[in-house]
């Protein structure tokens, strides 16, 4: 386990971009991995995982290093030294790693395990919000799970192949996967790998989609031939799943306020051989009015705090602000109010978020039902990261009776 200079320098440069320039970790990692074409799989793995680890444990490492949240080059090296010592890497004789106090780092780490904001490396306000919404005991378990690395889960595109055939094809390409109980189209990678380079991906046999996210489209109870509106479609992971569940029959209208996201969806529909999706940019209220009362099913995958997906987006712990959470709760209520009108009498809607906060989830639905007696809640489901090991999600199925 040796540290290589060019890999570590890439990590340090990447951390500067994330902590000082506000760039998103996933985009920075993508850029970092293109830095040297000679790197093998192990080198790329080290770069990606180390960047994410340093982002995830930013507050903890900062506290141990005593760098006071000032991310100069020198301080980033001090944080890296904490990472290296705690991971058991022998420190090379480089100028940047001279005089690293290894015993003090280990002692300070042990001491900070008693304080949740440092142990779980989270801002004070987020810890207070988690305790307020979920209670001390539950929040402690959830945030501990959300600090683990996310597993890579694939969703089989059943329009093109079966789960078993996909598993065999990936095995032929050197990627081992296993089935997951309770997720009928999911395959979990045994070891992380770049699945986007596989022939199976290019042929549209699968999408990368967390297990919890795969539950949402199924929750909508769609059938072939229905008219379905996916109101906050984004790049369309759930749209594609709906198309597969509908066997490419009927109509799915994928809407979003961002045209750039819908363009990505169009590329994905072609690769997945999906033919029943049309896209619509919501650039005025007229578009919503025209579709009023026309859908058999409506999916509202609402914008949210994203606290349920901190595993895969650890930098959002530092980018998220308390006022954003307050504002998004108001936005969710407005979206639910507006898009619920699209469903016809006898039709159903699913309201879903990737949050674990009751204020964004069951409380939101309870308030909506109270103000809209024409709707009834048929069922809801909350996915706990701690209990499932996957992303935190919430989904509620409501029927319009009048």
Q: What is the pLDDT of residue 292?
A: 97
Segment among 284-288, 303-307, 334-338 with least mean pLDDT: 284-288
Distance CA 173, CA 156 (A): 16
- Rama region for 250: left / alpha / beta (φ>0; ψ in -120 to 50; rest): left
Q: At a CB cut-off of 8 Å and minimum separation 6, what does 21 contact?
A: none
Q: What is the per-residue pLDDT across 198-245, written as a single tens digit (0 to 9) for each?
A: 999 999 999 999 999 999 999 999 999 999 999 999 999 999 999 999
- DSSP summary character for residue 160: T
DSSP state of 257: S
Give the pTM. Answer: 0.96
pLDDT at 381: 98
- Number of residues assigned to the chain: 402
Q: Encode pLDDT of 42-98 as tens digits.
A: 999 999 999 999 999 999 999 999 998 889 999 999 999 999 999 999 999 999 999
Cα–Cα distances (Å) from 335 to 241, 351, 374, 379, in that order, read 22, 10, 17, 20
Residue 1 has pLDDT above 90, yes or no: no
Instruction: Give tens-digit pLDDT for 87-141.
Output: 999 999 999 999 999 999 999 999 999 999 999 999 999 999 999 999 999 999 9
Pick the closest to residue 12 from 40, 38, 45, 50 (CA basis): 50
Tokens of 74: 């020198």
Do the Cβ atoms of 120 and 153 come closer than 8 Å? no
Does the pLDDT at position 3 exceed 90?
yes
Task: Report how far apart, in Å, the C-alpha atoms of 44 and of each of 12, 39, 238 are.
Answer: 15, 6, 29
3-state SS, residue 8: helix
Tokens of 355: 């949050």
Task: Give the pLDDT confidence score for residue 305 in this predicted structure.
Answer: 98
How is 66-102 classified by DSSP, letter by letter? T-TT---HHHHHHHHHHHHHHHTPPPPS-GGGTT--H
Distance CA 213, CA 152 (A): 13
Could you give the CA distance from residue 157 to residue 209 in angstroms, rounded to a whole number?
Answer: 11
If you average pLDDT over every residue of the chain, what do you get?
97
């Amino acid at each position: 386990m040796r540290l290589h200079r060019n890999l570590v320098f890439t990590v340090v440069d990447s951390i500067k971009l994330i902590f000082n320039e506000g760039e998103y970790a996933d985009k920075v990692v993508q850029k970092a991995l293109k830095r040297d074409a000679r790197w093998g799989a192990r080198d790329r793995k080290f770069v990606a995982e180390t960047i994410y680890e340093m982002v995830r444990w930013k507050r903890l490492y900062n506290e141990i290093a005593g760098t006071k949240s000032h991310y100069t080059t020198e301080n980033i090296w001090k944080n890296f030294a904490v990472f290296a010592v705690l991971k058991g890497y022998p420190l090379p004789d480089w100028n940047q790693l001279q005089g690293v106090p290894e015993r003090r780092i280990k002692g300070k780490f042990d001491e900070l395990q008693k304080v949740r904001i440092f142990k779980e490396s989270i801002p004070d306000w987020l810890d207070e919000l988690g305790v307020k919404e979920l209670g001390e005991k539950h929040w402690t378990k959830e945030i501990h799970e959300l600090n683990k690395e996310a597993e890579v889960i694939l969703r089989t595109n059943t329009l093109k192949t079966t789960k078993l055939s996909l598993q065999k094809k990936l095995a032929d390409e050197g990627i081992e996967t296993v089935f997951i109980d309770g997720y009928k189209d999911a395959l979990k990678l045994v070891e992380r790998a770049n699945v986007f380079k596989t022939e199976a991906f290019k042929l549209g046999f699968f999408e990368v989609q967390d297990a919890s996210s795969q539950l949402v489209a199924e929750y909508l109870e769609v059938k072939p031939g229905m008219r379905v509106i996916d109101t906050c479609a984004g790049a369309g992971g759930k749209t594609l799943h709906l198309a597969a569940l509908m066997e490419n029959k009927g109509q799915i209208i994928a809407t979003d306020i961002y045209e750039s996201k819908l363009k990505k969806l169009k590329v994905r529909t072609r690769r997945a051989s999906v033919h029943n999706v049309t896209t619509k940019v919501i650039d005025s209220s007229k578009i919503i009015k025209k579709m009023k009362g026309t859908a058999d099913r409506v999916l509202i995958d609402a914008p949210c705090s994203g606290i349920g997906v901190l595993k895969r987006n650890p930098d959002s712990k530092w980018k998220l602000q308390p006022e954003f959470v307050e504002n998004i709760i108001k936005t969710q209520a407005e979206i639910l109010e507006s898009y619920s009108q699209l469903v016809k009498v006898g039709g159903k809607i699913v309201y879903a978020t990737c949050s674990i906060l009751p204020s964004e989830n069951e409380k939101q639905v309870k308030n909506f039902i109270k103000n809209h007696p024409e709707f009834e809640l048929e069922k809801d489901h909350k996915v706990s990261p701690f209990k499932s090991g996957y992303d935190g999600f919430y989904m509620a199925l409501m029927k319009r009776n009048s």
